[in-house]
Chains A and B, each alone.
Chain A
Amino acid sequence: MASPLSPSRLWLMRAAFLGLALLIMFFHLIPLETVPRRWTAPDLLVAFAFAWGLRRPEYAPALSIAAAMLMADLLFQRPPGLMALLVVLGSEYLKNRAAGLREASFAGEWLAVCLTLLAITVLNRLVLGLLAVEQAQLSLSLIQMVMTMLAYPPVVLITQSVMGVRKLAPSDAEAIGGRA
């Protein structure tokens, strides 16, 4: 019964997470949007990091998330490190709550993710404001936050059905050799 967590599958899925992050960055960088828009697309990188982290924390360890987000910071001309730091802290918070959320319905999980996204957005703007870094309009940040919240359920659906990253059922957990 070692199949769900055999080392080769573990490392394969870790690599898959980084590959997914690179793919999202690739589509962001394609030079199609050279005119400023009034709205923004959801931040899929953060949504997938949370969805993977809540389902299988071992597939998206803090180091992977930090590496992916730092790369995104560097490539997308954001202040390097800040967004990565906030997303790592947010995902760790969610992972720690995952045990409680595992019994709860999806609505509870979604609410927790929304609150974390809100905290990340507020902290990001607050820190940048305190350090007098110039920022884009507040409306753009808020639109991106709301879009990411709305995009979370489809992202979870894709994560579970297409990529096969699901929560461990209690029977699996016992089979792996827990003390429960």
Chain B
Amino acid sequence: MAKDRSQRDDYTAPLRRLVLGIVVLCLLGIFLVWRIDSPRVERFRAQVVDRVVPSMDWAMAPVTGAINLIRDFQSYQRLAEQNQELRRELRQMKAWKEAALQLEQENARLLDLNNVRLDPRLTYITGVVLADSGSPFRQSVLLNVGARDGIRDGWAAMDGIGLVGRISGTGDNTSRVILLTDASSSIPAIVQPSRQTALITGNNTAAPLIDFLENPDLVRPGDRVITSGDGGVFPEGLLIGQVAADPSGRLRVRLAADYERLEYLRVLRHHSAETVTDPGGVVMPATEVTAPAGPALAPVTAEEEAGDG
């Protein structure tokens, strides 16, 4: 290599080796810090994504639109038969709508009779999908709403019909939704009508697995799967999908949300989730023994939190 280099390069070669060494050490350091203190680095990642991706948005939207247009072009060819099909479905839907309205009225009357108060805090914020995870190994999407809009980690994201995932990682203007299909996602759920509890765990395939079923014999393909609200992570009763059995006999969930077209997602505000802000009593028993220190500690941690953010 050195033979077709100028003499100047002979002096820069050690310098280049030094730079390479520093770069390697830095990268190794970043990886180790991530492994040791993952939340802090993930927050840094959320901030980087928050800065970079929205600035690409002006170019991303038209390119995505153009590619989707080309994909849709094939479906235009059988527009007529599709139209027929839709009309047929619409007639069925009208019948269902009528039934639903009657049931809703009946339900309202019954709730009124029983003096039931519905949770008024369960409202939602709608966000647009900016980007996907960009890698085949992770399943997540980025929304254009973030901490500025009041989004918090752990809230549920739905499309119009079913659960899509949970918020994990919020920047100021963006937030990441870990989809139910991601390998790190597991959601406590109930299978209706047998009311069996289970855990819906994603494994990077289109249909997540149903784990920890008490009695699999009571569950049949076609049963509805909804969130159970266990652990206060999610509100109760959000539709996840239907039970399906794969050829090897494992039970999976066919998701209700349309994962082919994730464009707008609703993020449900959910305030009952407990957040861990200070070391628990197990770690610091001293604060419980000395009574005056207890209240004094709270504002200090609050200030520290504000200083960090």
Q: Is B78 an interface residue (CB 8 A)?
A: no
A96 with B1: CB separation less than 8 A:
yes
The residue among A28, A81, A177, A179 with the most chain B CB atoms within 10 A of its own CB is: A81
Q: Is B96 an interface residue (CB 8 A)?
A: no
Q: Is A154 an interface residue (CB 8 A)?
A: no
Chain A residues, CB < 8 A from B181: 35-36
A26 with B59: CB separation less than 8 A:
yes
Q: Which chain B residues (164-192) contact chain A, with CB distance < 8 Å?
A: 176, 179, 181, 183-184
B contact residues, total (Cβ < 8 Å): 60
Which of A29, A63, A99 meets B131, CB within 8 Å? A29
B1 with A32: CB separation less than 8 A:
no
B53 with A75: CB separation less than 8 A:
yes
Q: Which chain A residues (25-84) contact chain B, with CB distance < 8 Å?
A: 25-37, 40-41, 61-63, 66, 70-71, 74-82, 84
Name the distance in Å between B7's Cβ and chain A's nearest Cβ.
Answer: 7
Q: Which chain B residues (7-63) contact chain A, with CB distance < 8 Å?
A: 7, 16, 19-20, 23-24, 26-32, 34-35, 41, 45, 48-49, 52-53, 56, 59-60, 63
In the complex, A89 Cα to B45 Cα: how many Å?
23
B136 with A34: CB separation less than 8 A:
no
Number of A-B residue pairs at CB separation under 8 A: 158
Name the distance in Å between B12's Cβ and chain A's nearest Cβ.
Answer: 10
Chain B residues, CB < 8 A from A27: 63
Which of A31, A77, A81, A168 meets B4, CB within 8 Å? A168
Q: Which chain B residues (84-114) contact chain A, with CB distance < 8 Å?
A: none
B59 with A140: CB separation less than 8 A:
no
Instruction: Report, as a range, how many residues of chain A touch the other chain.
Output: 35 or more
Q: Is A133 an interface residue (CB 8 A)?
A: yes
Closest-by-CB residue of A relative to B64 is A30
Q: Given contacts A30-B63, A36-B204, A62-B20, is CB(A144)–CB(B136) below 8 Å?
A: yes
In the complex, A28 Cα to B63 Cα: how many Å?
12
Q: Given contacts A29-B131, A74-B45, A179-B7, is CB(A81)–CB(B262) below 8 Å?
A: no
Which of B1, B20, B134, B137 meets A99, CB within 8 Å? B1
In the complex, A114 Cα to B137 Cα: how many Å?
21
Q: Which chain A residues (134-154) contact chain B, with CB distance < 8 Å?
A: 134-137, 140-141, 144
Name the distance in Å between B119's Cβ and chain A's nearest Cβ.
Answer: 30
Name the distance in Å between B243's Cβ and chain A's nearest Cβ.
Answer: 19
Q: Is A176 an interface residue (CB 8 A)?
A: yes
Closest-by-CB residue of A relative to B36 is A131
Chain B residues, CB < 8 A from A134: 183-184
Q: Which chain B residues (203-253) contact chain A, with CB distance < 8 Å?
A: 203-206
A31 with B137: CB separation less than 8 A:
no
A75 with B49: CB separation less than 8 A:
yes
In the complex, A28 Cα to B131 Cα: how many Å?
9
18 more CB-based (< 8 A) A-B contacts, given A26-B56, A80-B30, A136-B183: A30-B131, A31-B131, A31-B132, A32-B67, A32-B132, A34-B179, A36-B139, A41-B136, A76-B134, A79-B31, A80-B31, A80-B41, A99-B3, A131-B35, A140-B136, A140-B137, A174-B4, A180-B4
Could you list 17 examples of A-B contacts with CB < 8 Å?
A25-B134, A26-B60, A28-B135, A31-B64, A34-B262, A36-B136, A36-B205, A62-B20, A66-B26, A75-B49, A77-B176, A78-B138, A80-B34, A80-B41, A81-B29, A168-B4, A180-B3
B-to-A contact residues, CB < 8 Å:
1, 3-7, 16, 19-20, 23-24, 26-32, 34-35, 41, 45, 48-49, 52-53, 56, 59-60, 63-64, 67-68, 129-142, 176, 179, 181, 183-184, 203-206, 259-262
